[in-house]
Amino acid sequence: MWLQRRTKPKNSQLRQWTMDSMLGRWSQEPGAVCFVDLAIGVFQDYYQHNQLREYSASSISWILSLEPFVLFAAGIVLGRVFDNYGPKWMLLIGTFLHVFGLMMISVSSEYYQFLLAQGICSPLGASFVFYPASACTATWFDKRRALAFGIMSSGSSIGGVVFPAMLSRLLPRVGFGWSLRISAFVVLAMLVVANMTVRSRIAPVPRRVQFSDYIGPFSELPFVLLMLASCCGFWAMFVPINYVILEAQEDGIRRSLAEYLLTILNAASLPGRILPGYFGDKLGRFNVMIAMCTLSALTILVLWIPGTLLAPGSAAVYVIFSLLYGFASGAFVGMVPALLSQITADMSKTGVRQGVLYTCMSIATLTGSPIAGAILNRQHGTYWGLQAFAGAMMVASVVFFVAARVVLQGTSLRKKV
């Protein structure tokens, strides 16, 4: 009874509009989501050794955790804005704020300056770009929606390979300021493409703001379970991204290799975003998400913790972990919006429902890394505590995804859910 009839795109839609929207959605991923989420580990390492070296790892993590928090939390407002007005002006505003924020980071030197530029301005602009692009994708696809989201989110994987590697090369050569400015110009070029191509299949439907639109989803048990699963997953997801470089360097891994672990992780997430979407459309999106989330938990608990405790300083452990975790955790980015669309009856409310879900998830993105940093400080630089925290949250995510699947279609393992 939870799976209701949804408005489906017609086969007669112009393919050019579909491809243009896909190109625009893909283009905003490297420029918006990637720079906010996937280059965090580079900044954590750089700030701890340079501008913010007098601050603790946990204090620096608050700046970097604000980025995904603001990116997602703004959805409570921006989702409604998209439903009412469409993507055009949101993309323009977002492009300006995001690029302006990156430029301001390049001239920052104090903690509060990084907090304002990197923690608020830049991710707020990215949010103005992310929500309309994501919601537009949902309007164009039905049967292959998970694959579409996977392909779109693969843009951030490619950006996650390019930006960390680019920053690692630029920082010692041209300095922090010009490294950020060059990155900002690259981001601007990508977002220009997004502005020119992102379109929605469904015309905006202006509605008065109603409180019921925001609390209504919480009356749906599948939505609540999806929200809890996503929150637990995002509590865990960014911990390795933030701390794997630092741990590797402290374990004696040579710096040139340690700095590329994030690039390896992001490269592995490319197939981890596309393949789950492809198989999710064929075998069931919840089924595939449960499998990928389980693999993420096992990678942390069976490889990352024992490997770094029993073989400290082993480059192979870090490389293999980065590969497996990147592949497994990549599903979160592409599959969560596809799962939400699957349990959404009225696609004209896609924006506000995405906003509600991602606002809840933003709490996890805000607190996950600082909690991990606090655990690290409490254990005087020993990493197994934050690793255990990440593993426990990922296991909890699996439990809630399984519960959502049971509510939707029961306990039969043969059903496509």
Mean pLDDT, rounded, for 43-72: 85
Question: How confident is residue 165, by pLDDT bands cut at 50, 70 and 90?
Answer: confident
- pLDDT tens sequence across 308-337: 999 888 999 999 999 999 999 989 888 998
- pLDDT tens sequence across 240-282: 988 898 899 999 998 888 878 888 998 898 899 889 989 998 9
State the pTM of this model.
0.82
The pLDDT of residue 39 is 61
Share of the chain above pLDDT 70, in %: 90
Cα 243–chain centre separation: 16
Question: How confident is residue 105, by pLDDT bands cut at 50, 70 and 90?
Answer: very high
Share of the chain above pLDDT 90, in %: 39
- Dist. CA 271–CA 264, nearest whole Å: 12
pLDDT at 164 over 80: no
HEC readout, the chain: CCCCCCCCCCCCCCHHHHHHHHHHHHHHHHHHHHHHHCCHHHHHHHHHHCCCCCCCHHHHHHHHHHHHHHHHHCHHHHHHHHHHHCCHHHHHHHHHHHHHHHHHHHCCCCHHHHHHHHHHHHHHHHHHHHHHHHHHHHHHCCCCHHHHHHHHHHHHHHHHHHHHHHHHHHHHHHHHHHHHHHHHHHHHHHHHHHHHHCCCCCCCCCCCCCHHHHHHHHHCHHHHHHHHHHHHHHHHHHHHHHHHHHHHHHCCCCHHHHCCHHHHHHHHHHHHHHHHHHHHHHHCHHHHHHHHHHHHHHHHHHHHHHHHHHCCCCHHHHHHHHHHHHHHHCHHHHHHHHHHHHCCCCHHHHHHHHHHHHHHHHHHHHHHHHHHHHHHHHCCCCCHHHHHHHHHHHHHHHHHHHHHHHHHHCCCCCCCC
Contact 141, 9 (CB under 8 A): yes
The pLDDT of residue 38 is 53
The pLDDT of residue 11 is 45
- Dist. CA 333–CA 240, nearest whole Å: 16
- pLDDT tens sequence across 372-398: 988 998 888 889 999 999 999 999 999
Mean pLDDT, rounded, for 182-211: 84
| Structural domain spans, the chain | 16-203+212-409
97 vs 149 pLDDT, higher one: 97
- pLDDT tens sequence across 273-284: 889 989 998 999
The pLDDT of residue 25 is 58
The pLDDT of residue 146 is 82
CATH code linked to domain 16-203+212-409:
1.20.1250.20
